[in-house]
Amino acid sequence: MKLWGGRFQKAENRVMEEFNSSFPFDQRLYRQDITGSMAHARMLGRQGIISDAEAQAIIEGLRTILEDIEEGRLALSGDHEDIHTFVEAELTARIGEAGKKLHTGRSRNDQVALDMRLYARSAADELIAGLDGLIDALQKTGRDQDTIMPGYTHMQRAQAVTFHYYLQAYVSMFRRDRARLENSRELLNESPLGCAALAGTTHNIDRRQTAEELCFRKPVDNFLDGVSDRDYLVELLSDMSLIMVHLSRLSEELILWSSQEFGFVSLSDEYSTGSSIMPQKKNPDACELIRGKAGRVFGHLSGLLTTLKGLPLAYNKDMQEDKEAFFDAYDQVVSCLQVMTGVIDTLQVNQEKMRLSVKQGFLNATEVADYLVGKQVPFRDAHGIVGRIVLACEERGSAIEDLTLEELRAFDGHFDQDIYDYIDYRNILQKGNKREML
C-alpha cells in the first residue's frame, strides 16, 4: 500500500519501487514510530482537531499493533514503502475510518525526523551503558592483576608503570567518550514533530504537548531545520568513531601483548579461535575484528557527511541514506563494547613476564640519573654517565641494579649504597608525582 497516488496516472515501476523502499531497514523504528503517533493522536484529540473517540480508537489501535509486533503476532513484512506506511495501513485495517485521520497536521518528514531522534536518544543511552560495563571491567581487571610493566614510547621500553595504571589510561578515554555521548544526547533532545512537511500546518496543533509527552527538552526552533537536521546522527557517528579508535588501540595492544614475543597476557579461550591447519595456534580474533570494524564505522561517518553536504533545505530523499549507516555503526559499536568487556573480564596476565621485561629494559635508567642529580651532578652530565653504564650492562647482559657499588663507582664517584633502594622499581613508583600512578 501507498500513502500517496491521487495525482499519479501510471503505477510505479517495480524496480523503482524496490529502490525507493526503506521498509527492509527502517522497520526497526516501529516502536518509535508508534510511540510518536500515539503522542500525535492524543494531541490532535486534546486540541479538538479530531474527536476524543477517534483519538482513543487510534491510541488503542496503535497499542495493540505494538503489542502484537513485540509478541510476534504481527510480522513486519509485506509490500510497504516504509515503516510509517506499514503502521498506518495496519491501523486503518484494524480500526477503520479513524485510522485515516492519524496523519492530520503531520508529514512523513517530521515523522521520520522524530523517529530517528527517538532512536538516536535511546542508542546514546545504550552506548553509555556499554561504556560503563567496559569501564568497570577495566578497573576490576587492573585491580585484581596489578603488577609493574614496561611503558613504551616509540614502541621502545621507556619507564616502569603499573598494569592497573595502564588500563586506567583507557578508562580516561572511555570516560571522555561517555561525556561526549551525554552531550550529543542533550543537544539532540528537541522534538521535530509538528514541523510537518517543512512549513508547519494550518491546524491548531500544539508542539509543546507532544514534545513533553515524548520527554524532549523543547520543540525545535525552526520547521525547515527540524525536518532536515541530521547533525545529531553525524555527532553520534563521530562519538562512535572515537569509541572505535580507543577500542582499536586497546585491541592492538592486546594483540601484541598476547603474541609469543611479548607474552604479557593471554586471552581466554572464550574469546579466541584456532587455525584450521596449524594446531598450535590460538588467535586473538575478537581484538582483530574490533580493530577491523573501526574502519567500517569511520566509513559510515564520512559517508553521511558526504550525503548531507550538498543538500538544500528542507527534506530530500537523500536523507533516507542516514539509516543503514547509523544502524550498522550502532550495531557494530554495541557488539564491540560487549566483546571487549568480555575480553577484559577474562584476561589472564603473566605478571612474571611483565616484571622480567621491566628488569631487562633498563627502565630505571632515568632514576639512576635522577639519583646523581640528587648528589648535585647536573642532569645533562648524569644523562651521559648513565648512558655509558647502560652500554656496559648491555654488553654483559646485566641490569643496572646488578652492578656492584665498586663497578658503579668506576663510572662516577657519587654512587653510594642507597642507590639500590633508590632504583628499586616499587620504590621508584613511590617517588615524586609517580605516586599518582599507584
C-alpha cell at 165: 595504571
Distance from C-alpha of 138 to C-alpha of 434, rounded to nearest angstrom: 21
Q: Where are the beta strands (DSSP E) in 302-375?
A: 348-349
Q: Which helix or strand (DSSP H or E) is residue 113 part of?
A: helix 108-144
Give the nearest distance from C-beta 319 to ligand ARG in angstroms: 5
Binding mask 71-100 for ligand ARG (x = CB under 6 A): -----------x------------------
Give the nearest distance from C-beta 114 to ligand ARG in angstroms: 11
Distance from C-alpha of 115 to C-alpha of 193, rounded to nearest angstrom: 9
Distance from C-alpha of 425 to C-alpha of 347, rounded to nearest angstrom: 24
Instruction: Provide the CB-side half-sphere exposure for 136 (13 A, CA).
Output: 10
Task: Rule CB under 6 A: say whether 320 interacts with ligand ARG.
Answer: yes
Q: Quick one: 310 or 397, whose CB is closer to ligand ARG?
A: 310
> Which of 122, 259, 275, 302 is the catalytic position?
275
User: Which of positions 176-215 make contact with ligand ARG (CB under 6 A)?
Assistant: none
**Cα→Cα distances 427→371, 431, 432, Å:** 13, 7, 11
Instruction: Select the span of 44-52, 237-245, 319-327, 354-362 touching ligand ARG (CB under 6 A).
Output: 319-327
Task: Rule CB under 6 A: say whether 37 interacts with ligand ARG.
Answer: no
Count of residues in the chain = 438
User: Which of positions 109-128 make contact with ligand ARG (CB under 6 A)?
Assistant: 109, 112
Give the nearest distance from C-beta 175 to ligand ARG in angstroms: 34
C-alpha cell at 293: 570494524
Q: Give the count of residues interacting with ligand ARG (CB under 6 A).
A: 10
Task: Rule CB under 6 A: say whether 27 interacts with ligand ARG.
Answer: no
Whether 275 is a known active-site residue: answer: yes
Q: Which helix or strand (DSSP H or E) is residue 156 part of?
A: strand 156-162
> Which of 77, 154, 203, 302 is the catalytic position?
154
Report strand pairing: 190-191 vs 218-219.
parallel
Whether 154 is a known active-site residue: answer: yes
Nearest to 36 by CA among 89, 143, 154, 115: 115
Task: Rule CB under 6 A: say whether 319 interacts with ligand ARG.
Answer: yes
Among 22, 37, 85, 248, binds ligand ARG (CB under 6 A): 22
- DSSP tag of 418: T
Give the nearest distance from C-beta 109 to ligand ARG in angstroms: 5
Site residues, ligand ARG (CB under 6 A): 22, 26, 82, 108-109, 112, 315, 319-320, 323
Residues designated catalytic: 154, 275
